[in-house]
Amino acid sequence: MKKIVLLFIGISTLLQAQKKDVSLEDIWRKGTFRADYMNSLNSMNGDYYSLLNNKEGSSSVDKYDYKTLEKVATIVDSKDLNELKTFQSYSFNSDETKLILGTNFKSIFRHSFLGTFYMYDIASKTLRLIGEDIQRPTFSPDSKRVAYAKDNNLFIRDFSSNSLVQVTTDGEKNKIINGITDWVYEEEFGFVKAFEWSKNGSNLAFLRFDESAVKTFSMDVYGKEKYPTQEVFKYPKAGEDNAKVTLHVYSLATNGTAKIIFGDYEYIPRINWTKDDNVLAVRTLNRHQNDLKMYFINAKTYDTSLILNETDKAYVEVNDDLTFLNDNSFIWTSEKDGFNHIYHYNKKGELINQVTKGNWEVTSYYGFDADKKTVYYQSVENGSINRGVYSISLKGENKKVLSNPLGTNSASFSRNMHYFINTFSDASTPTVYSLRNDAGNVLKTVKDNAALKEVVAKYNLSKKEFSTININGNDLNMYTIKPVNFDSNKKYPVLMYQYSGPGSQNVKNSWNGANDYWHQMLAQDGYIVVCVDGRGTGFKGRDFKKVTYMNLVKLETEDQIAVAKKLADLSYVDAKRIGIWGWSFGGHMSTNCLLKGNDIFATAIAVAPVTTWRFYDSIYTERYMRTPEENPTGYDENSPLNYPELLKGKYLLIHGTGDDNVHVQNAYRMAEALIQANKQFEWGMYPDRNHGIYGGNTRLHLYTKMTNFIKNNL
């Protein structure tokens, strides 16, 4: 028996030795583990979708049949257009007879950009310029006009009369913005286009941002010239003045604009026209973001009605799930029963029924089939690390699972909700794209990443082990990556990874991202990698998420420290060699853990960290902390700037100097605090790189630096 066991071990070791090790070049230069993705679908009228395809120096919009996934037509190809060699975006008008084609994009912030846009008429095959260096061109419902923003003003180009109307004239950089959101709305409310056509195209509603009182932030841009330049923009930090936002409606009939006066608010995070041509739905929030109101505003009379009012002891989040049905009743999602669920209200804002119920969360709302009176959504009802796709009647009956029950599933539905592309992966299966009907039946596998699975099989990759760990009275989701040749009789160093931000999730049953391959590379070198989602993270209910309110990173830090101490008790863990790393919020956490947990953490890496919430933006920070004036202890007792003397372990601090989100000011002030406390540390500054710290060889350099730091200090 001993000979058989020894023979098996010998063969297993030989097979492992024949496999390749993951390298940084595999991850960041060669693209060895790059998955085969399916281009984002644009659902069309009927059972069709379109794709933007690029080939041999040209771009085309091609039409496909959902039933067969076969191409049925090429709608436009840039090789047939003299004025346009390629294009990077497209959008249809309502009856799909025209398109807006975009090119020459110039990035502004995370989501915003300028571009040159054209209108293409499919029947006549003609191309007409809409404008250069403009933002968010949008067809009117009758397709005769296109509204867009340029230089902080709104314009309407009328192609039927070949005229241009300037809707606003007071736009000015760092002062007045019309129809486009400011930096903080774009980043924290997640939208850029702040104008909407009414359903009949007779009115254009828009938001106006007066940034005059907002303080300016500036960043040096070093570039390649002799002198650096400065990027200067308005950035409201916690407790400071926000832009004054007002609602306006422009009437095409009168060529006049009305300022709409209603309610008391700090923010207008969404405007949406209802099914009624003259009724605009407007959502507002107070500064604490715990009192959300939705108003219906009549665009003819400007009468205002409060339709819905949702409050919370902590905060109410804004999303894009609001859907108006033909009778102007609407679908709404809310956490008001303790978990995020779907609700149906009538047009007066009276609850008809709660559509989904249970101690689990709806994570995405996909749409409503009016003919079948069926709602489609994604949820975690099969465990908070999984995602499934479901259907349910509007009355909350006949629920069906339409996807794999476990793993991570998401859906892209046809416009009529008859078909969807299901995107599935789990920790051991690369992404699989399949065509399904509305009953969930698989009609065809589109892509299965079989080639990637073959590539991965040639490498020494460890299994990602999912579990829970009881910390401070909560069963927290956890995964562990151990070396392939793990021996429980040996002692191993541990590197913990986390993000920990409100509503976030790192422990999920899905295929690898770039960091997973880096963690696998570290496991090859004898490290155990552990990730735990502590209190404040998402998909386990309102109370679990909002328990950190007013004290961001306090409980989260306590949880990670407790995890480290529990890991230290394991027989195969070297208790003196436990480290932690994170990016952004996770960098704040790793810094805090190294200082406040200096009796257990030996090392930490912080990439682009917040080091005091006083430096971060108003909307995000105050949602979870209120203002510094209201909550000074919450801000200061959890800021590592205030206790640098606690540093005992090895610390690597990294930031991009062009970070418009978490400003490099955070890193510089942390460095200064450590210097004045006479604490040695390592750091790396990446010139002109933003919050993502990428471009060229930047990521390869960054992860090489982090790898060397870990090998030398953990």
- The pLDDT of residue 265 is 97
Determine the Cα–Cα distance for residues 478 and 506; give it in Å rounded to an integer: 9
| Annotated catalytic residue, options 341, 588, 663, 691 | 691
Confidence of residue 17 (pLDDT cuts 50, 70, 90): low
Q: Find tokens 């996807």 and name the residue.
A: 403
The predicted model scores a pTM of: 0.95
| Annotated catalytic residue, options 321, 617, 659, 660 | 659
The mean pLDDT of 135-162, rounded to a whole number, is: 96
Determine the Cα–Cα distance for residues 322 and 249; give it in Å rounded to an integer: 21
User: Does 60 score more than 80 pLDDT?
Assistant: yes
Please spell the DSSP secondary structure of 75-140, one letter per residue.
EEEGGG-SS-S--SEEEE-TTSSEEEEEEEEEE-SSS-EEEEEEEEETTTTEEEEEEEEEEEEEE-
Positive or negative, the CA dihedral 686, 687, 691, 696 is: negative
- Bridge-based pairing of strands 429-437 and 419-426 is antiparallel
Determine the Cα–Cα distance for residues 157 and 277; give it in Å rounded to an integer: 21
- Among 277, 292, 298, 302, CA closest to 322: 292
The mean pLDDT of 547-572, rounded to a whole number, is: 98
Q: Which tokens hold the place of 220?
A: 């040096």
Distance between terminal CA atoms of the chain?
39
Least confident of 47-51, 269-273, 535-539, 676-680: 47-51
Please spell the DSSP secondary structure of 323-377, one letter per residue.
EE-TTS-EEEEE-TTSS-EEEEE-TTS-EEEE---SSS-EEEEEEEETTTTEEEE
User: Does 1 score more than 70 pLDDT?
Assistant: no
Side chain identity, residue 420: F
| Residue 510 annotated in active site | no
Confidence of residue 11 (pLDDT cuts 50, 70, 90): very low
Q: List CB contacts of 288: < 8 A, sequence separation 6 or more.
A: 315, 622, 626
| Residue 691 annotated in active site | yes
Q: Is residue 590 a contact partner of residue 604, using CB atoms and an 8 Å limit?
A: yes
Helix H or strand E segment including 546: helix 542-546
Q: What is the pLDDT of residues 404-459, one digit of tens each?
A: 989 999 999 999 999 999 999 999 999 999 999 999 999 999 999 999 999 999 99
User: Does 4 score more than 80 pLDDT?
Assistant: no
User: Does 38 score more than 90 pLDDT?
Assistant: no
Q: What is the pLDDT of residues 518-528, one digit of tens each?
A: 999 999 999 99
Please spell the DSSP secondary structure of 360-371, one letter per residue.
S-EEEEEEEETT
Classify burial at 643, counting beta carbons within 10 Å of its beta carbon; exposed 0-12, middle 13-18, buried 19 or more: middle
| Annotated catalytic residue, options 60, 434, 584, 590 | 584
Residue 43: beta bridge partners?
A: 49
Residue 650: beta bridge partners?
A: 603
E-assigned strands of 45-93?
A: 48-55, 58-65, 71-77, 89-92
| Residue 584 annotated in active site | yes
Determine the Cα–Cα distance for residues 577 and 491; give it in Å rounded to an integer: 10
- The pLDDT of residue 280 is 98
Q: Which tokens hold the place of 492?
A: 């191993």
| More confident of the two residues 37 and 393 | 393
Residue 146: beta bridge partners?
A: 139, 157
Phi, psi dihedral angles at 142 (to 5 degrees): -90, 0
Mean pLDDT of the chain: 96
